[in-house]
Amino acid sequence: MTLIKSISGIRGTIGGTIGDNLTPIDAVKFAAAYGTWIKEERNKETYRIVVGRDARISGEMIQQLVMNTLIGMGIHVIDVGLSTTPTVEMAVPMEHADGGIILTASHNPKQWNALKLLNEKGEFLSGKDGAKILEIAESNKISFAEVDDLGKITVNDAYIDLHIEEIVNSSWVDVDAIKDANFKVVVDGVNSTGGIAIPRLLEELGVEVVKLYCEPNGHFPHNPEPLKEHLTDICKLVVKENADLGIVVDPDVDRLAFIDEKGNMFGEEYTLVAVADYILGKQAGNTVSNLSSSRALRDVTEKHRGKYQASAVGEVNVVQLMKDTNAIIGGEGNGGIIFPEFHYGRDSLVGAALFLTHLAEKKISVSELREEYPAYFMSKNKIELTPQLDVDAILAEMEKKYATEEISTVDGVKIDFPENWVHLRKSNTEPIIRIYTEAKSQQEADQLAEKIMQEIKEIAGI
């Protein structure tokens, strides 16, 4: 089964059978459930929903199905076409819309697509709201409009430019400093909408752009998750072009990674660290990331006399804790920057502009900037268990075993040791425990992971 129905949206592979994959029938069903929820939640005379998509091959088909379902419910649609997740998030409040749908499967391969659902603030739905939509989808209590009450589609393809305009005009972005730095940047847009948005932003900032895989045709030239093992082409091209850095985004442009001038990864975990360092250097405040993100953010926050806190994994959880703690910057270690001055969502365009401002003001190279931050190394592993085993009981035993250490049970079990940490999370869909560790060397991180995995196996009797 490759249709994943969760509180954060509907994700699946194109084709196959209804209910097992993201078929046209499933796209209509869940769009209608979302439309029904919008009507119940907003309870108005007229409704408006913003719809945009990344450049996936299936995107246009899914978008037409979703938009026509909504107009069949009497809902007006603002079609922003090829766009980015953060752009749609910003378009919703700009349009005074009741919600938004982004058609993207984020970093998943090209056969996947998804409906990411937003509320009237342009933010991802809460768990409670997502659960309600799933309930509506299975209830068959969905009503469509009569012929005189059908909605209309309005096309507005200006929002990427409006998004860029907001960034360029922000007091947080020093356009003059960036222009004076004469940066040359290679951009890998993985043949999706990042190939439209990122070069356009950089050109507005006076940056020389070298494009790599920036044709938005949905044929991803490599695995679209921006990890080191997938980015050999841009690493080579940065060196060949004698560029100052490389910028890599995922297909919907909410994850951001950098390549230094030597062709080395800056480190996806360090995208947020560097941007937070810049923001905290301008304004005192608190930060938030999730429990599986690098300790380096905590170190940088404390250096600036702020307070760092960790949320459960998931963007909606990070956002909620940021609001609760008045955090001025936050995000996720996967390269997701959330800067509330713009909106409460991961935004690679905002992240890139802030990073370039930081680099321009410091007048140093990307590799030199990386050396300023604490060096941590991660190991990510998983243990597959039999369905009969009680995963919660196993995690409870690990919590008991390390009761003298600093422990969080907000999301699984995280054990903070003085020099390193381990985070144990169970999968919601499979009998799996994910094991993330971080330490001051790769060897130490790997050894800690091996030790913890062995202890779990002993508890489980496997």
Provide the annotated active-site residues: 106
Q: Distance of CA 129 to CAs 7, 43, 44, 146, Å? A: 7, 15, 18, 27
Closest CA to 355 of 160, 205, 455, 219: 205
Closest CA to 336 of 231, 249, 218: 249
Q: DSSP class of residue 102?
A: E
Which runs of E-coded beta strand occur in 144-206? 153-155, 184-188
Please state the φ and ψ torsions of residue 380, each to the nearest 5 degrees.
-120, 120
Tokens found for residue 180 = 């004076």
Alpha helix stretches (DSSP H) within 283-372: 296-303, 315-325, 348-362, 366-371
Asked if 47 contacts 76 with a C-beta cutoff of 8 angstroms, the reply is: yes
**Strand bridging mode 377-384 / 406-408:** unpaired
CA angle 189, 193, 195 (to 5 degrees): 35
Q: Distance of CA 3 to CAs 51, 345, 425, Å? A: 21, 25, 22
Which runs of E-coded beta strand occur in 33-190? 48-53, 76-82, 99-103, 112-118, 153-155, 184-188
Asked if 373 contacts 355 with a C-beta cutoff of 8 angstroms, the reply is: no
Query: What is the Cα–Cα distance from 160 to 157, expressed in whole angstroms?
Result: 7
Which runs of E-coded beta strand occur in 285-427? 286-290, 308-311, 327-332, 336-338, 377-384, 406-408, 413-416, 421-426
Q: DSSP class of residue 287?
A: E
Q: Distance of CA 35 to CAs 41, 67, 137, 187, 200, Å? A: 10, 10, 10, 37, 33
Helix (H) or strand (E) holding 437: strand 432-439
Q: Which residue has the tokens 């992971």?
A: 449
Please state the φ and ψ torsions of residue 177, each to the nearest 5 degrees.
-65, -40
